[in-house]
Amino acid sequence: MTTSLDQLHPVLVHHIVNTLGWRSLRPLQAEAIEPVLNGVDAVLLAPTAGGKTEAACFPLLSAMEQHHWSGLSVIYVCPLRALLNNLLPRLETYAAWLGRRVALWHGDTTPSVRQRILRDPPDILLTTPESLEAMLVSVKVEQAHLFANLRAVVVDEVHAFAGDDRGWHLLAVLERLSRVCDRQIQRVGLSATVGNPSDLLSWLQGAGSGTRPAQVVAPGVGTAAATAVPPGEIELDYVGSVANAATVISALHRGEKRLVFCDSRQLVEELGAALREAGVTTFLSHASLSVDERRRAEQAFAEARDCVIVSTSTLELGIDVGDLDRVIQINAPGSVASFLQRLGRTGRRPGTTRNCLFLAIRREEVAWAAGLLLLWSRGYVEPVTAPPQPRHIVAQQLLALCLQEHRIGNQLWVEGWNGLAPFDRSAEPILRHLVGEGFLDKDGDLLFIGPTAEQKFGRRHFMDMTAVFTAPPQFTVLHGRREIGRTDPALLTERVHGPRLLLLAGRSWKVGWIDWKRRRCFVEEADSGGRARWQTSGVGAATFELTRAVREVLLGADPPVKLTQRAQRALAEEREDGSSTVHPGGTVITRSGFDVRWWTWAGYRANATLAATLSELSDEKQRVDDASLRLRTDLTLEMWKAATADVADRLCLPEVDERALAGLKFNEALPQHLAVATLAARLADLEGAARVLAEPARVLVAGH
């Protein structure tokens, strides 16, 4: 064993060697011991199944014994309840070796278990940011007692938090926790490979960034030559339809355990149903299936051998479903980082290789998958960046702090987040709006929850305020007393001829009675014919780098992976059809009848920025996608030159449809112009737009 083990508690070392049977620690686990044991803030970086949980918990358990920590001293935060459920038995085992206890608290935890935790806190608490927020604002929780001995927080899948508003919410909650326990809390983030680990660590430190010792621990990450192709058996195929994808999956790799990733719940349902019709033992997992349905599927899959589980990204984040033989990707994921997570589910057993089979069900997806694999082969991974200008989270936090403290000082409120921006003095315009609109009431120098906040967010003891994302309304689907999952209400309201049939959990169901008031529908089993659909929010926007990689593919670049003959033919056809939209010397403007289009290949956000900046040239409907934007039909070369002469110096934020504000939770607590400004900043890619404008544009007429 490595000498680093000498730093761990001897009882822990005994069990690592004798109970787990480990001959050595993994490199990450060995290198993480010293900084984590010494209280250093850290990001521990390793591929999926790289032993990150043990790398954080072994030294923290040793610190517990070394420093005689008592009570709740470590909080372990995960983005998914299922991941917490999965981790609980393992962490309970490790803690029990030292006579320590672990407990679980999330939305499914019963009131009796919560009361037991409050009466006798465990040493380690597994939870979500939303549950932490609920504990801080609950009148049933004595926060000063529960968190008095808190020393460290482990944030699993920290990159998943940092890239969206849950990350801002988590940072704010951690600062409030440090105020409650009156000490700096050590922060340890666990992450898969990211393009900017130092930035991620600085982000995780919050208000302590630059003032506390910090270290990225990433042995072996980024040491390979930039031009080297990463290891893995990767193949790209074109199948043309969901039915064909099911045929290929059912014929290949028989006797093996296969995990199939789809990037929509509808596709999961359609492929799952097709695989079952083909006689394949198939399980499904996605967010609209009931918790029991997902657990049954994941447990059955973990215990089976010759089977397939079809999933959205819910199984991307490390939930253990046993040893996998194959990963199959339908179409292409949205990022290299996501692909790396999925690829990392395979090749864990000695003598096996990481592998992924891409099955494109639309021809254009062959080029997008090839572009993503081109980036991957070059060692590129997207940087993780927090969404800009989270003003709606600032509003939520001001209200949450009032709930937590009951009353806050009109001038002292800013201390609640230890100076963390944007929860600092820059939030004063938002605070004034909250007071002016009755979200907060004022009594002298004290602020407290007002009638508008009670009306908007006061249901179920303000539980609606603990989550920072808005879920579209769904109806619960019940077969007798058994909950199957949830479906989009549109499937229950649209006109149909004959019986109304749903597709859920990979099976067809005939709708019987609908309880509109309680949002429930009762179903019976049906043979086939069910339909699946869910409302999606937000723009599925490809990045500048990914879109440019697709452009390279259309210009002739091939990723260094195996392409089947079908994929090669499809790619050749895509290149021929798209030949007028790409040029190695710059961007292209095409005119075909009344359709004038600027092919920038810059990604949706850069194109939205360009459309707003060149509004005098844009089509009235401002149709924008990842590859292009429409221009006015009477465009002339003179108009183009005049409009673009100095445009790089006056880039504008994209225009925002006010209806899009519905997807920004707590937008009601903001002045409308600030809510719109927040969305506009998040829709923009000023750097990408500037790069496009620096390139020459060629004007082509159709057929030339």
Contacts of 13 (CB under 8 A, 6+ apart): 1, 5, 6
More confident residue, 443 or 321: 443
Would you place residue 660 in the very low, low, confident or very high pLDDT band (cuts 50, 70, 90)?
confident
The tokens of 190 are what?
């666990």
Pick 2 or 19 by higher pLDDT.
19
Q: What is the pLDDT of residue 99?
A: 97
> What is the pairing mode between strands 124-127 and 74-77?
parallel
In the predicted structure, residue 226 carries a pLDDT above the cut 80: no
How many Cβ atoms sit within 10 Å of the Cβ of residue 134? 24
Give the model's pLDDT for residue 167.
96
pLDDT tens for residues 498-535? 899 999 999 999 999 999 988 999 999 999 999 998 87
Q: What is the pLDDT of residues 384-438, one digit of tens each?
A: 999 999 999 999 999 999 999 999 998 889 999 999 999 999 999 999 999 999 9
Q: How confident is the model at residue 2 (pLDDT cuts 50, 70, 90)?
A: very low
Average pLDDT value for residue range 620-637: 87
Q: Does position 293 have pLDDT exceeding 80, yes or no?
A: yes
pLDDT the model gives residue 578:
94
Distance of CA 22 to the CA centre of its chain: 33
Higher pLDDT, 363 or 471: 363
The pLDDT-based confidence of 460 (bands split at 50, 70, 90) is: low
3-217 to CATH, choices 3.30.1490.190, 3.40.630.10, 3.40.50.300, 3.40.50.2000: 3.40.50.300
What pLDDT shows up at residue 224? Answer: 39
Residue-wise pLDDT tens digits, 135-172: 999 999 999 999 999 999 999 999 999 999 999 999 99
What DSSP letter does each residue of 21-70 carry, written as one string? --SS--HHHHHHHHHHHTT-EEEEE--TTS-HHHHHHHHHHHHHHHTT--
Pairwise CA distance, residues 180 & 373, whole Å: 47
635 within 8 A of 596, measured Cβ to Cβ: yes
Reported as a single tens digit per residue, the pLDDT across 96-116 is 999 999 999 998 899 999 999
Can you say how many angstroms the Cα of residue 634 is from the centroid of all Cα atoms in its chain? 42
| Residue range 695-703: mean pLDDT, rounded | 75
Asked if residue 95 lies in contact with residue 12, where contact means CB atoms within 8 angstroms, the answer is no
Q: Are 232 and 354 in contact (CB under 8 A)?
A: yes
Which pLDDT score, from 0 to 100, does residue 1 have?
Answer: 44
Say what the pLDDT of residue 525 is: 94
State how far the alpha carbon of 527 is from the alpha carbons of 39, 502, 506, in Å: 59, 11, 11
Going edge to edge, which strands form the sheet with 440-443? 408-409, 446-449, 440-443
Share of the chain above pLDDT 70, in %: 94
198 pLDDT tier (thresholds 50, 70, 90): very high
Least confident of 158-167, 288-297, 630-639: 288-297
Going by C-alpha positions, the residue among 39, 92, 91 that lies closest to residue 63 is 39
The per-residue pLDDT for 702 is 52
Domain 233-377 belongs to what topology? Rossmann fold (3.40.50)
CB neighbour list of residue 196: distance below 8 Å, 6 or more residues apart: 383, 384, 385
234 — pLDDT class (breaks 50, 70, 90) = very high
User: Which distant-in-sequence residues (6+ apart) come within 8 Å of 591 by Cβ?
Assistant: 635, 699, 700, 701, 702
So what's the pLDDT on residue 396? 94
In angstroms, the CA 309 to CA 268 distance is: 9
Q: Would the pLDDT of 231 be above 80?
A: no
CB 403 within 8 A of CB 137: yes
| Mean of pLDDT over the chain | 90
**pLDDT level of residue 297 (50, 70, 90 thresholds):** confident
Separation of alpha carbons 429 and 446, rounded Å: 17
Tokens at 344, concatenated: 């990392």
Chain region(s) in the chain for CATH 3.40.50.300: 3-217, 233-377
Non-local (6+) Cβ contacts of 620 within 8 A are 632
